[in-house]
Amino acid sequence: MSRKWKVVVTDWEYADLRYEEQVLASEHITLVPAQCRTEEDVIAACRDADALINQYAPITRKVIEQLQNCKVITRYGVGVNTIDLQAATEKGICVANVPDYCMDEVADHALALLLAWKRKIVVANQAVKNGVWDFKVTQPITRLRGQTLGLVGFGKIPQALAQKVKPLGLHVVACDPFVPEAVAAELGVRLVSLHELCVVSDIVSVHAPLTEGTKGMIGAEQFAAMKQDAIIINTSRGPVIDERALIDALLAGQIAGAALDVAEQEPIAPDNPLLAMDNVILTPHAAWYSEEAAAEMRSKAAMGVIDVLVHGEYPKYLVNQEVKGRVELAESLPTNRYAPLV
C-alpha cells in the first residue's frame, strides 16, 4: 500500500501545503512537513523518507549519504543548486524540478523591467511623488524601436521574451551554445557569441541557469565590451553576473544602468551599493510569481514524487539523466497528471 511511503517537504515559504497535500492524498500518501535549515535538520527529518520535496534546505552529499530509502527528490522551481546531483545519482536517487511553471511570468517581468528602465518609470514616479512635475528629470530617453536586445541564454523563457518584444520593434540576438540556429531563426533571432552580444546590444537580458560554467560569466570583460548607454537585466540567478564587476561598471559609467530581480546574496545586503544607485531597479526575486504559477509549481513538484513511487516511472522533469544507468524505472509517458491544481 502506498500509505507506507514517507514524503517529507524539507522546507517551504508558503502559507500552507494544500496543493502538495491534494496531489499526494489522491494516492493516499501523507505528507510530512518540516522546516529544515541545516544538514543535520534534513538528516533528522528525512533519514527514512522515500521522497523529498525541497526548497532551500541543503541536500548535500553528507545528507544524501544518510538517506536510507529515498528514491526521488523534487525541487520547487527550475534551479537545483540546493541538491548535490552527483551524489544523488551515485545513490540512485532521481532528482526532478519544475522547469515550465513560470515561463510567461519571468518573460513578462523581464519585459516590465526593460520598459520601466528605458522609459524611466521609477525615476519619474519618485520625482512626481517628491513634488517635481517635470519630464526633464527622465532625460535622456531614447526610442526603443530599432534597438537591440541581447539574450544571454535562449531557453523557453528568453524565447517567450523574444516573441513578446517583436511588436516593440526590437532586434533580438542571443547567445546559447545548446540551441540550434534553426530554432533561433524560426523566432527571428540571430545567434552570436557572448562577446558580440555585449558589443551590439542596447539591452542585455540574462537568462542562463546557474552552473559552475555560468557563474560569473558576465564580468569585467563583458561590461567593458558593452555600450556606455546599455543596460543589463537579470531575472535568472544573481551569481551569473559578477556583482562586484557590475557595481564597478556602473560607478565608472561603463554602462548606463541595471534592472535586477536577483542578487548574489539574497536578501540583498543593506550595505550593497546597488541600493543607493538611481540607475538601478531592484525587485525581490519575484519574477517567477503569480498565483497560478505558484500552484502549478507546487502541484508539479508533488507529481514528480507520484511518478516514481506510484507509477514506477522516471519523473517527467528528470534532471540527472545519468541516474538511468543506476535505477530501472519506466520512461515517463504523456499524461494529464501534470494539470495544475488551481
pLDDT in tens, 320-340: 999 998 999 999 877 666 665
Q: Do residues 270 and 301 both lie within one domain? A: no
Q: Are residues 41 and 116 in the same domain?
A: no
Q: Are residues 223 and 177 in the same domain?
A: yes
In sequence order, what E strands does 221-311 have?
Answer: 231-234, 257-260, 280-282
pLDDT surpassing 80 at residue 341: no
- pTM summary value: 0.88
* 293, amino acid identity: A
Residue 4: per-residue pLDDT: 84
Q: Verify that 134 and 268 share a domain, yes or no.
A: yes
| Residue 332 DSSP one-character state | P
Question: What beta strand segments (E) does the chain contain?
Answer: 7-9, 31-33, 51-54, 72-75, 94-96, 148-152, 171-175, 190-191, 203-206, 231-234, 257-260, 280-282
Residues 118, 194, single domain; the answer is: yes
Least confident stretch, 48-57, 73-82, 221-230: 73-82
The β-bridge partners of 8 are: 32, 52
Residue 342 maps to a domain? no
The mean of the pLDDT values for the chain is 95
Question: Does residue 251 form part of some domain?
Answer: yes
Based on the fold, state whether residues 312 and 202 are members of the same structural domain.
no
Q: What is the CATH number of the domain that holds 272?
A: 3.40.50.720
pLDDT band at 258 (very low <50, low <70, confident <90, very high): very high
Please tell me which residue in 20, 237, 243, 296 is annotated as part of the active site: 237
pLDDT single digits (tens) 130-175 = 999 999 999 999 999 999 999 999 999 999 999 999 999 999 999 9
Segment 261-290 shows an average pLDDT of: 97
User: Would you say 232 and 218 are in contact if contact means Cβ atoms under 8 Å apart?
Assistant: yes
**What 3-state class would DSSP assign to 249?**
helix
Pairwise CA distance, residues 201 & 38, whole Å: 42
Short-list 301, 307, 254, 251, CA closest to 276 = 251
C-alpha cell at 20: 502538495
- 208 and 243 together in one domain: yes
What is the H or E stretch that residue 18 is in? helix 18-25
Catalytic residue among 190, 285, 311, 326: 285
CA distance 117 to 104: 20
Strand arrangement of the beta sheet that strand 171-175 belongs to: 190-191, 171-175, 148-152, 203-206, 231-234, 257-260, 280-282
The question of whether 266 is a catalytic residue gets the answer yes
Residue 59: inside a domain: yes
Q: How many independent structural domains does the chain possess? A: 2
Tell whether 337 is covered by a domain. no
Q: Which of 9-18, 258-267, 326-335 has the lowest mean pLDDT?
A: 326-335
Structural domain boundaries enclosing 318: 2-101+290-325
Indicate the Cα dihedral angle 197, 199, 200, 206, nearest 10°.
40
Residue type, 58: P
190 domain residue, yes or no: yes
Q: Which residues contact 299 (CB under 8 A, 6 or more apart)?
A: 19, 20, 22, 23, 338, 340, 341
Task: Name the active-site residue from 181, 186, 221, 266.
Answer: 266
Q: Is 28 a catalytic residue?
A: no
Considering the domain boundaries, does residue 204 fall inside one?
A: yes
80 and 131 part of one domain: no
The predicted-structure confidence for 165-209, as pLDDT tens digits, reads as follows 999 999 999 999 999 999 999 999 999 999 999 999 999 999 998
> Are 314 and 239 within one domain?
no
Average pLDDT over residues 72-90: 95
Does 109 participate in catalysis according to the annotation? Answer: no
pLDDT at 2: 44
At which of 282, 311, 336 does a domain end? 282
Asked if residue 340 is part of any domain, the answer here is no
Shared-domain flag, residues 231 and 316 = no
Q: What is the pLDDT of residue 184?
A: 97
Mention every residue, 6+ apart, whose C-beta is less than 8 A from residue 27. 2, 306, 309, 310
- Do 226 and 272 have their domain in common? yes
Q: What mean pLDDT is predicted for residues 81-103?
A: 96
* CA distances (Å), origin 264, targets 84, 140, 178, 220, 233: 20, 30, 25, 16, 14
Are residues 315 and 182 part of one domain? Answer: no
- The percent of residues above 70 in pLDDT, for the chain, comes to 96
Average pLDDT over residues 23-33: 93
% of the chain exceeding 90 in pLDDT: 92
pLDDT value of position 1: 43
In a domain, residue 336? The reply is: no
Q: For the stretch 250-287, what's the b/e string if a residue is b when 16 or more beta carbons lie within 10 angstroms of its beta carbon?
A: beeebbbbbbbbbbbeeebeeebebeeeebbbbbebeb
Write the burial class of residue 231 (CB in 10 Å: 0-12 exposed, 13-18 middle, 19+ buried).
Answer: buried
239: cell is 551569481
Q: For 238-257, how does the pLDDT look when each residue is reduced to its tens digit (9 = 90+)?
A: 999 999 999 999 999 999 99
Domain termination site, one of 227, 252, 282: 282
